[in-house]
Structure 1
Amino acid sequence: MKDQAVPEDAPDLMAARRLSTKETADRLGVKPETVYAYVSRGQLSSRRAPGGRGSTFDATEVDALARRSGRRESSVAGTGDLVFRTGITLIESDRYYFRGVDATELALRHSYEEVAEWLWTGVLRPGIRFAAPTEALAAARRAVGALPAHSGSTDRLRVAVVAAATADPLRFDLSREAVIAGARSLIPTLVRALPAVSGGPSTADDRERTSGEEERTSGKEVGLARLLWPKLTARPADGPSVAVLDTALALLIDHDLAASTLAARMAASAHAHPYAVVSAGLGVLEGPLHGAASGLAHRMLAEVLERGSAVPVVADQLRTGRGVPGLGHRLYASEDPRARTLFALLADVPEAAPALAAAQDVVATAARHAPLHANVDLALAVLSVSCGMSAEAGETAFAVSRTAGWIAHALEEYGERPLRIRPSGQYGGPRPPQPLPSAER
């Protein structure tokens, strides 16, 4: 847990998975009266809502009934888009929620591991830490160490996932308990398999020495954000900056059905094991329009600081027909709540002042052209620029964090009808019958 006491409303986090009568009816596709009929027949259990107004229902129990009755659909006819019912993230009115709880409040009050654990289990476990198994970590480090020096962090993470999977002969166990246990092991394995930024050891002896130093600092009291810190920057860790990184990790865990999450759910729909689910997510995340977007914002901010003004930099972006990195989000009309939260924390980090001012300059300058607001990529860029991180640091943090979200979605998808995600293609090629192709002469 972060450096503060557990809030008085912490028990409410565990209750967040309870649904109102209306929410239950909507999820089941029935009338409220039918919900109470299910209760009377013993198919659902209910609990009086606080204050005695109405009843509440356990989301897991409701989803199980929905699957048995065939009410849940993978798509909505006529919309042209796949639509999935999910109990993980809700985005509305320029805010977003994890299982009905304000995600920004969760991230400010709880560590990345606590939020991830609660998303998976519905249980808040203050102070929980994830540990990497020795065999899986050794396999991941060997595989990552064999990559070319120019390999990017996402390359290393993809290889580490595959290596960790080979070290887990029970990876095909898709029971909820096994998947969650594997996730607790996989995430720290990915982080600790990455080389430190300090240039990276060049010999086997150096690698072993670096490993030993990490072992002495990776006890149960060390959170994932602090383990990740030396993989992103050579600067010594300080409390405020690590706290910002930890909050960023918690904020980025999930964001509804982003492209990488959809890929992860499709893999889970085919009952791919959790490592393969994470691999599917990582494959999509690397695109410049998704996880790599923060790198573009990083380079832009660095240029603004070098040139002393955002005006020529933004002008260059617009002149070449490119959008301004770090601005705008299709799901928010105003500022991305994740960016707003991180900017507020970064304001208390003295080293972040120049990069924060540069980001504000970018927003103000771009506003002359279009009313766009900052998104989380710009906030990640402020963190990476001010802490001496590389341009890909934001993508690395994004990938590590989102792994927990992909696992949460996999847990949901494993409970659905297998292979239900099967869109139909609209054929636009030549109509048959066509003659067989002939070889060129």
Structure 2
Amino acid sequence: MPMAMMVNNSSYGCKLPREIIEEIVLRLDAKSVTRFKCVSKSWLSRISDPSFMSCHHKRQVPRTLLGLQFLDDVLGINEDCGMLCSFRSSENFHEISSKVFPIYKLRRENMAMAFVGSHYGVICWVDKIHNCVYLWNPTIEKHKKLPPSPYTPSEPGSFSPLLTLYGFGYEPLTNDFKVVAACGGKDTETRKCSNFFQTCEQVSLYSLNSNSWKTMVMPDLFSSDQDYDSTMLRIFPINGTASVVVSGSIHWPITIVRPQLRQENLVKVYSDGVVAFDLSSEQFKLINPPSSLNNEVFYVRSIYNLCGCLSLLTSPSYLLSCIEIWVMKKYGVSNSWTKHISLDLVDRSLPSSPRNTFQPLGVLHNGNLLLESRYRGTLAFYDPRSDSGRLQNVCPWEQVFYFATYAESIFLS
């Protein structure tokens, strides 16, 4: 029913209270809600109110968002390839809708888009070739190109000795989307990105409210450990992992390389952890992994927001088919880490064959594991509650580059 009829439907002898009308509108999909902005100035003002937008977002059904690569002959797009966002049911994984990032439709030159993160219905992308950051609400098909970061070359293809790691999140107290850009360098031995999150490194912060960047100084997060010289640390972001927002903070998984003296020899000791950035206080902090893992050699494969809690997916270095999921029950309290799942994928009742070996792609918001075959186009679910799995075929030309939990919103409208 059109909003005007709902507000004052005298011809049918009824007039719904404004509270009931708003309750109905909050349950509608994002596209329908944005159309109601045309009803009147009062409804435009109400729907544009941050509290209304936030309430609407919280009432939307969480979906699973997959980033898939496609070829131009599949969708009839002129680029050689692009990124398709596929929105799927978290229960049966059926596709609900799909969207192509609109910049792909406008450009013909090469692009190297990387997924930064998703929060409050908005997705953050970075084009590494053209040094551009974008915010995109795929539901209402609105996007915004951000101005260049202070530490990023403004000209496409310009050489820069700095490498940038991005994070993205929404701060509800100020109704502001923020993007963090932390600069690092390249390790001369491994040729990987390193030296992130160390003292005096260059950090910039974008605010959508002001549509501008400001510079910050990175604090020394590792100064409390006196067993080594913190200036000799090497910090590597874990490849292929997007930032995750939990309890109002952006999080990145990292690998820390500490030089230690053993029997008069300097050796490298590897350990994993998490760096967080509080969106409200705009302060960085270090989150340590579960203390029970300190005596083991393990990998943090990825991080998640599981039912509002920070979660780690880890594996021992000697057996990657064995995985554990750790959940921080009380945010920021190290002794609140609890082991949620421990299993060996080889021994579980997964829809596998001698040719299909599944590795964890991520943890869905309902606690199920999403697994990916080493052969493209095949995914599987594993439900730890029933200890069972099921196969889910994806189109054979597609390759999963990232996944996230997504719920519709009307932000950026």
TM range (shorter): under 0.3
- Bigger strand share: 2
Q: TM-score, normalised by structure 1?
A: 0.27
The structure whose residues are more often helix, as a share, is: 1
Q: TM-score, normalised by structure 2?
A: 0.28
Higher relative contact order (CA 8 A, sep 6+): 1
